[in-house]
């Protein structure tokens, strides 16, 4: 039976509902921290939090990581979450051929899907966008989420282009950060594309017009609240959903005063979680920025969640062998 628009968003979508665009952890020397990536992925996908992670996206500093590091992130995060959550690999770059190579590497590394942003800086025509997306979708058997964020790429994906892209069987979703609710409503009305909010402050408005969930930055620290927001909306508890939305306004703003990767890593450090520094051209938050972000977290009711120690090699061996004992020792404050 064909789903009505009212029922479509109530069916659990293929990618999940509450997803976080995960940072790429680095050590103090700026080198890839795969142990940190494993620990953070497990933390973010614990019960009641994220059911999907996007790796190698903008928040993952994809412009500053090598292809080999991107592949290592996918392998590590996929192994860490097991079947608890989907792992979506960001593979969109300015070159179609390079995007195809990244897509094929992601498929081999165990990704569950691909996220493809519009090519940045070169500002292709709509015909070029469609051919770019289709070529990448044809290159693997993985489902594809398109990412529409014109303020970063310099080009919006027109609604007619999305309508044409939706005809490809593997292009199934959109991460919407365009801020045009009318255009998004039109695309949802005329296609079967699954919509995700890609702009945290618009999470609730996009749910109200038919989005199924979020690809969030704030989900690093508040995925449980985002899940409650979505559940309240689905249950028709609009006042409670609006209350959570307003509660999160401070952290919605705080995470984006500086580049999101730097803000998220500062917030994770406050909670004892792995993230490390950012790589140039990004810079870490200064002391005044960290203080303001801390106030934003408190204003949104987000507690410190402290990990007293990173797991030892023995802890990891025990976990891998199936012996009891958590890999992460957690204390909630």
Residue with tokens 């106030």: 295
User: What does 75-88 look like in DSSP terms, one character per residue?
Assistant: HHHHHHHTTSSEEE
Cis peptide before 281 (omega within 30 of 0): yes
120 belongs to the catalytic site: no
58 is in an annotated binding site: no
From the candidates 175, 178, 195, 265, which is the catalytic residue? 175
3-state helix, strand, coil split of the chain in percent (to 5) is 45, 15, 40
Please say whether the beta carbons of 106 and 113 come within 8 A: no
Cβ density class 146-163: b for 16+ within 10 Å, e for less: bbbbbeebebbbebebbe
Provide the β-strand partners of residue 261. none
Is 59 flagged in the annotation as binding?
yes
**For this structure, is 291 an active site residue?**
no
**271: helix, strand or coil:** coil
Assign 115 to helix, strand or coil: strand
Q: Which residue has the tokens 């789903």?
A: 3
**How far, in Å, CA of 138 to CA of 324, rounded?**
43
Q: Which of 147, 195, 196, 252 is catalytic?
A: 147
Contact 294, 274 (CB under 8 A): no
Catalytically active residues are: 147, 175
Binding residues for pyruvate: 59, 215
Binding residues: 59, 215
């Amino acid at each position: 039976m064909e789903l009505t628009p009212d029922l479509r968003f109530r069916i659990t979508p293929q990618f999940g509902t509450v997803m976080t665009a995960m940072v790429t952890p680095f050590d103090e020397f700026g080198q890839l921290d795969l142990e940190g990536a494993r620990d953070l992925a497990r933390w973010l996908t614990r019960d009641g939090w994220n059911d999907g992670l996007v790796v190698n996206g903008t928040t993952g500093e994809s412009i500053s990581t090598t292809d080999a590091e991107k592949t290592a992130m996918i392998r590590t995060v996929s192994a860490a979450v097991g079947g608890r959550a989907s792992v979506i690999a960001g593979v969109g770059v300015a070159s179609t051929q390079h995007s195809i190579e990244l897509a094929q590497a992601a498929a081999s590394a165990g990704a569950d899907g691909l996220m493809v942003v519009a090519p940045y800086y070169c500002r292709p025509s709509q015909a070029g966008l469609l051919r770019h997306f289709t070529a990448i979708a044809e290159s693997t058997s993985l489902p594809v989420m398109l990412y529409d964020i014109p303020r970063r790429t310099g080009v919006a994906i027109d609604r007619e282009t999305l309508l044409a892209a939706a005809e490809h069987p593997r292009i199934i979703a959109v991460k919407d950060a365009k801020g045009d609710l009318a255009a998004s409503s039109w695309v949802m009305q005329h296609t079967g594309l699954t919509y995700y909010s890609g702009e945290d402050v618009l999470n609730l408005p996009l749910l109200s017009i038919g989005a199924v969930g979020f690809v969030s930055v704030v989900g690093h620290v508040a995925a449980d609240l985002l899940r409650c927001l979505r559940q309240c909306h689905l249950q028709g508890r609009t006042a409670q959903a609006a209350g959570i939305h307003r509660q999160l306004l401070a952290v919605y703003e705080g995470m984006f005063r500086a580049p999101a990767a730097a803000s998220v890593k500062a917030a994770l450090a406050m909670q004892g979680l792995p993230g490390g520094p950012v790589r140039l051209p990004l810079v870490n938050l200064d002391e005044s920025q960290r203080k303001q972000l801390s106030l934003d977290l408190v204003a949104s009711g987000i507690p410190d969640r402290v990990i007293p120690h990173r797991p030892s090699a023995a802890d990891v061996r025990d976990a891998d062998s199936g012996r009891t004992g958590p890999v992460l020792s957690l204390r909630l404050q």
